[in-house]
Amino acid sequence: MTFDDELKRSVKKVIVSERELKKAIKALGKKMTKDLEGEDLVVVGLLTGCIPFLPDLLKELKLKVLVNYIQASSYEGQESSGKVKIGGVLKESIVGKHVVLVDDIIDTGVTLKELSKYLYDNGAKKVTTCVLASKIGTRKVDFEADYKALEVPNEFVFGYGLDYDGYYRNLPYIAALKDELYK
């Protein structure tokens, strides 16, 4: 089966086009540049979902930043386990710095809330969260991202960093998964 055949089998509809993504990220970068100017920033990308969003966002930030990465997950397959597993070590010191935690999506809110606490516990002066997408109506904890490029409906979405069973992060758009494939 070709890649295009796989997509036809999986994609219910495109939720956000490549053009809409670029426009939203450009606007987000402009707002963050204005709001965060003069801060001593460490941008921490949450792997692996922050790719390709983080490099595109960094191009729009007209700020001096250190870039770092961390791994964490609360998902097993298509469902949140409710428990956050943190892996990897921050290579840059965050002690006394303003950390901007960047992820692909905020869904339940569990991962970003736990990681924010982790970063504070490791010396961050301030933690600001930034996501590509905010899924509507899905929070399990009281937590919202400080910055979001766009909102997506409460459907299983993938593409542009968001995965479906580990695949399709490389799509240049965000799509909804066909209902019959969502378990």
Residue 11 within a domain: no
Q: What is the mean pLDDT of the chain?
A: 91
Note the pLDDT tens digit of each residue in 10-59. Answer: 999 999 999 999 999 999 999 999 999 999 899 999 999 999 999 999 99
Q: Which two tokens stand for residue 169?
A: 């992060």
Answer whether residue 34 is part of any domain.
yes
The total number of structural domains in the chain stands at 1
How many helices (H) and strands (E) are present in the chain, helices listed first? 4, 9
93 has pLDDT over 60: yes
**What Rg, from alpha-carbon coordinates, does the chain have?**
16
The reported pLDDT for the residue numbered 86 is 84
- 73 occurs within a structural domain: yes
Digit-coded pLDDT (tens) for 134-168: 999 989 899 999 999 999 999 999 999 999 988 99
∠ Cα 57 68 16 (to 5°): 30
Give the active site residues: 107
- Residue 183 placed within a domain: no
Is 163 inside a domain boundary?
Answer: no
Q: Are 174 and 157 in contact (CB under 8 A)?
A: yes
Q: Is the pLDDT of residue 129 over 90?
A: yes
- pLDDT the model gives residue 4: 85
Structure tokens at 18: 């490549």
pLDDT band at 72 (very low <50, low <70, confident <90, very high): confident
CB-based contacts of 113, cutoff 8 Å, min separation 6: 141, 143
* HSE (side-chain half, CA atoms, 13 Å) at 167: 7
CATH of the domain at 90: 3.40.50.2020
Residues 170, 102: Cα–Cα separation, whole Å? 18
| 175 domain residue, yes or no | no
pLDDT of residue 81: 56
Q: Is residue 16 part of a domain?
A: no
pLDDT over 70 (residue 80): no
pLDDT for the residue 76: 57
CA dist 81 and 76 (Å) reads 6
129 within some domain: yes
| DSSP 8-class letter at 178 | P
Distance CA 39, CA 37 (A): 6
Find the domain containing 67 and state its range: 23-153
Pair 6, 168: CB distance under 8 Å: no
Per-residue pLDDT band at 75 (split at 50, 70, 90): low
CB contact at 8 A, 32 and 147: yes
In DSSP terms, 44 is beta-bridged to 68, 101
| Cα distances (angstroms) measured from residue 21 to each of 61, 102, 125, 174 | 16, 16, 31, 9
